[in-house]
Amino acid sequence: MSDVSENLSVVLAAIHNACVRVGRRRESVELIAVSKTFSCDFVREAVEAGHLVFGESKLQEAELKIAASPSGLHWHFIGRLQRNKVRRIMQEFEVIHAIDSLRLASFADEIACELGLFPKVFIQVNIASEASKGGFSPETLHGEMESLLALKRLEIMGLMCIPPAGPTAESSRPGFVALRELRDAVEARYDVKLPSLSMGMSGDYEVAIEEGATHVRVGSAIFGKRSYQVDGELG
């Protein structure tokens, strides 16, 4: 047995406390338990502890896990979206977190149309313009937002980012603030609502909540240290 249930309680309490600190309602934050690299036994433990929302970053691994897990769970795809896997990902997952280009968004929109789906998606922003990371630069997002909004099938919930890794949780704060401010600017300029912000991982989710995260993607703080890296993981 692992400490999943205990770790979950710790994370849930920290989420609660972060909400209290900044006067947010607890229901405004969704915890996505990132189970990538962990077996379905870990997922089951979390489910037994009452948790139903999971994140995966590789389709093949996720398909096996989803098939072996109880039905009624909510699966979020948080990895890099490859064109040849978009169709299956849309069929298996409730939310896609990392639409990283207009080209990919248009393609996903076509597939959604074929499948008769209206998938919930986040637009990934490369908030610090790092060469190693994918996503829209803030400038590109401003320039392409109108085209993104013209895609009839994608339900754009909001923006997602992974700020540069720093020595402390506080190192991520400027990136979180920048994503929120970018969201506010895009909302005002295009007269749209982008209510959700997917930001914050094990090392910095409390700071992310203080800065407005509605979806935190937390893996190792719940399931333990990952023993291997996932190919195609977002950098």
Which spans of this chain sit near ligand PLP (rule: CB under 6 A)? 34, 36, 57, 78, 162, 201-203, 217-221, 233-234
Residue closer to ligand PLP, measured from CB, 141 or 201: 201
- Residue 5 C-beta: closest distance to ligand PLP, Å: 17
Residue closer to ligand PLP, measured from CB, 73 or 115: 73
- Residue 28 C-beta: closest distance to ligand PLP, Å: 19
Residue closer to ligand PLP, measured from CB, 148 or 222: 222
- Residue 86 C-beta: closest distance to ligand PLP, Å: 17
Q: Rounded CA gap, 53 and 75, in Å?
A: 6
- Residue recorded with tokens 């770790």: 7
Contacts of 211 (CB under 8 A, 6+ apart): 173, 176, 177, 180, 199
The residue number whose beta carbon is nearest to ligand PLP equals 219
- Residue 223 C-beta: closest distance to ligand PLP, Å: 8
Q: Rounded CA gap, 72 and 83, in Å?
A: 27
Give the DSSP letter of residue 72.
T
Contacts of 234 (CB under 8 A, 6+ apart): 57, 78, 79, 80, 98, 124, 133, 134, 162
Residue closer to ligand PLP, measured from CB, 112 or 216: 216
- Residue 162 C-beta: closest distance to ligand PLP, Å: 6
Pairing of strands 120-124, 95-99: parallel
Residue closer to ligand PLP, measured from CB, 119 or 153: 119
Q: Rounded CA gap, 19 and 2, in Å?
A: 28
